[in-house]
Structure 1
Amino acid sequence: MTRPNTTLTQQDLRLYKSQRNTDTTDGGGQMTSQPLTGKPNELFPPVSDWAKRNGQVNARLIYCAVLKPMAAALWGAHVIVSEPPQSEFVSFLMFAADYYGQERKSAMARVEAYATPASRSTLILLNTQWKGSRTITAYQRVDEKLPVVGSRYCLQYLDEKKQKTFAYFRVADVKNEIRTYTDQQGEFQRMWVNLEIQDALERDFDGVEYPSRYGERGDVLILETQIADSGKYYGISGLREPINVGDVQIKINKLYEKLVPTSVIEKTHADDFAGGKKLWVRTAPRRLVAHVGWVADGSVYLNTSVLPASVELSGWADDGSGSLKRDGEILTIDYEKGVISGIKNLNIGQIYAVPATLFAHHAYSAVINIDQTNIGNAFVTEPLRPRPAHGSVSVAFLSQKIWYFLHDNGDFKLRDSSGEQRGQVSDNGTVSMTLPVIPDDDSQIAIFWSPIDFYKTFDGSEAGVAVAPKIASSVYCFPEKPKTHLKPNSIRLTWLEGSETRNASDNNGKLIGSTTGYVNYVEGQMYPKTLNAAEVRLQAEQYIGSAESQILAVEDGDWMVIRTEKTIQRGTLSINLPLARREATSTEIVNNTPSSPRYYHFTSY
């Protein structure tokens, strides 16, 4: 078979500009006779810093043609993106126009239609959302599921021509809390939701001024979206590994490319540990934290901050997320402040909980690598070391290039953003999880936690266990390092009290002068009763001879007599008397120790 040839060469294949090489709504248009030469910024403008930070789409319509005065067949012509962008903030994609002379407004409508509006969401827009804002405030019923980070919604509104128009947004973060509102029928509760979005709003959106018991919506609706296969797009990605003859698998740097612009969001954190995470440290075993012996209304204050999910109130369940629930009723609880709110004519009685305190600590991290050998939903880690504290464990992973997060509220149970349990942490630090979606191949599951082993009771026991009380002496003595065997009546003390100089001395074992108290000459310590000074000067004479220690017999009787047969220097005698005890109502000896000492101890010089 003879292979057909063409008289056309590669140099005859050219790219031609359209009429309007701009990003205006009428950009594009019909083909011109002006070919592209390859000069810098000939087709697209330079990428500005503003565009890198806030996101921008440049669209150009070009024509691939052969302008040559001859009738020749053209076989095998194609168009590709041959080089990837050098900047990580820039993406190149190419798609076929719908018709000759298409303008930008029409082309971009199809690009943006990859996500189409679906049904109404459970969210109701609350108050005015201002142009340029990256947050959207809404509310919903308490028992409805919260939005998931990475999900895409749209705001439906009427434009100046009363036509339905849609503004799309993607959820970057979700904050929520149960709030109590009031209308003519009384109080009711709704879930207040604050959505952080990736791109700033391009106009103002007016929501309802105040939540409604019946869910009345305003003119702007929050709709869910669904993915629509609206077109095919072509791009380029580099090889991760070289391709060899016989290979049946190709590995590239990335499979997905950005179709819509994304913006860079900066957050400011003040008074926080670098990479720090909050953790709950138990301060005592479970105990009674409140006793309300009357019908309560409003709020109840606990006598301590408490560990999430540990509050025990008869008939109510603590979900660990700040709510006590019973048969559709909900009370809110601030664990850190120890306040239960939303109470309406309830007989509370006794409330038990685990006392705890919230603290910030630097975080540890570990990862699970995902590949074809372990991809799935269920994962179990080895025990985390150091052991994690309650409320400090977080899990993050990617699925379809969307981030998902699991958090431990303080009860060692991992929950997703909707509050559904997806795993748990054992006391020894083992993390087991069942993910709501399958993570991406060649990605990682990241686990973050803060340690509990650094926190102990004052006697070195595990944090949160009961500590046996110890008797604390209120008697003050000094100096910290005493000079033993001081000579009586040789001590002189000097100190400043304010700007006044104070003095004291000893007199037969007692302190006299500007303070009172007594002296232990053998141990070399003073026990003042009234002394207020940061520094005290001590002068005294000291025995320098060697001390003697003997065990001697005792002559019992009305008086105990000890005979040393040696002269004892004043202030040096120290006697060790092992005493027995008797019951108060009889003379019967309680133990076998004699009533009188069998020996004594003394020192002499």
Structure 2
Amino acid sequence: MPILKEDIKLMSSERLDDTDDGGGRMTGVEIQDGNVNNMFSDISRLDRTKGRTSMRKGFVGAFTDNQDNYFGVHVILTDPTADPRVKVCMFTTDNPYDNRVGARDRIESYVTQGTRYNGYLWGRHIAGARAIVIVTNIGQKLPDVGSVLFIQQGDNKQYVRLTDVNSTATTFEDKGVLNVITCGISDPLRYDFTGYEPLDKDKTKASMLYNTVVADAARYYGVMRPTGPMKKGDVSISVDSIYTNLVPSAQGESPVVDVTAGSVPSSFIPGDNEEITLSTTVSIIAGTSLYLPIPAVPGSLRFSVGGHNYHTQGNKVIYENASEVVGTIDHGAGVIRFNDDMSTVVVNYGATITLKPAAGGLRIGNSKALPILLANRGYNYVTSLFPLPAPGSVIADYMVQGKWYRLTDDGNGVLRGLSGSGSVNYATGAVVITCGALPDAGTAVLFGWGAPIEYVARGGKDLATDFAIEHTVDDGTIEPGSLEIKYYLSAYGEVISKDDGNGNILPPKHTDYTVDVPGITGNIGTVIYGKGIVRFNPTITPSAGSIITIESKSAATTTEEITVTSGNNSFVLSQIPVKPGSLSMQMDFTGHGHTESITIVDDGHGNIIAPPNQKVLLSKPLGETLKEGSTSITPLPVAGTINYNTGRVFFYGDSEGVINWLEKEITTQTVTTGA
């Protein structure tokens, strides 16, 4: 009789489970079609989280009462799994008696033992180690990162994939220079392996090191969904993937953008050392945020709501009534975030907030590393940080068993974390940390901190708010009386200021220059005609975004160089008469190897003056005899006089002139006058 469809049966092995002895020989138990979990167990939540490889061994046979031949025996998967996170495939070991361990070894045998490696393990290697040390001859090719080596000692065998390779030439007694190679491995050693010493003659009694070759011992069969049409005669088809999963993998990629290389700690300074107290209405509700009106210096914030008291410690918010952490604070943003599991305390209730206002923010952090070696491995580490750290900005990271642990500065000089503690002295930069466990050798304790070196505390000081610009016209000179400055004032529209011909910029008027702008009196700038320099300092700041237009006529100038000596209080200009307000003198003075330069101008009324805002420190004025030492004095408003008709320039010879640093003699002076 023929072999029918119902004669083809899938039979169970001895043990349908994932124990080491799972599998085994075929039994007479049929795996019934259509029954849920007839071969595989349900997928637990833990398996979905961590991943799992399940293997089941089955046998296919034709069960009939005769000996008819079954032609074209084959087994296929016809449908992929409905769950996209579950993959299924088949393979055979061609062994009807083996168990799960044998099948697992076949899967893992994607590489197999090859030739002896031209090197040997040095010293004892302990189970759990994540590095091996190999000794080879100088000139021997280093193993490649990503390559696989096979270690065997008796019944203990292990394939290791190299993740890092470093070599050092080392001199050994009686052996000369050998290459010592330290290799990081992807998985820790499962057994103890005993290596050799360079002087050992027989290097075959302990661990043996082998190269590996790709074997692909198993062939896998699965099912994939087509991604394009197929027709008879096609020699290739498109499917969604040619790969499937054999073992769970925890590897993933998470792109990181808009971050700096290195830590970015917050760095704050007090806007004022005085605390301020604010009264407001707040709601303290689980899972919500409370926004402060201004950022607070770490460790300075306290607030009270209806008898409930809170303070901050580092980035934590402490509920004092129950001594528990109820939230976190972002000092830079001034935001408190309450934990989701806290109970609601108040809604729309009056609160009193006390804090020190903070200035600063995030900046590229300073960093420092203390290498962890076998020689210095311990629990306590001490270092000094420079530049000095800002309160609340210090962090310390260390690694234990491949996991990083962080200690964070609470703003009061204490470092806290899940494991370990420490302290920091902000005045000296000294840091002491105690690790919760021994850090891994070959890693480092990493310190990061911020230093507010680019911030200056201005709290409690009056700040100048006047608008001021200085501009030099392209022609280099300005005809006295020709300067016009046009700009906008928000309350008056376009206004215009002019010079008075004597080096002063007058208060603005409306554009027809007939109506004064109310509330503005006194000069609002100066002009150095001979150099074309305009210093504009209006009482009312021009409107935001307005354009300031400076118009002027250039002046015909005469330039001459005059040399005078110490004791000569005056000289005469060759080109006369001199136009009032046009004189500009660049004076260079030399004495005791020191040279100072100062610009001196006339005020249009026959007086020689220093430009506004130019401080002058005097040693000895022009015409005074030489003395040792120097004295800083306050300059007089007037340094000398000029006769515009004769061109004679005279400097006052008393001890209160404005000449800067005259010790021995006056060198060349360049004098520029208007025509």
Query: What is the TM-score normalised by the length of structure 2?
Result: 0.37
Bigger Rg, which one: 2
Q: Which has the higher contact order (CA 8 A, sep 6+)?
A: 1
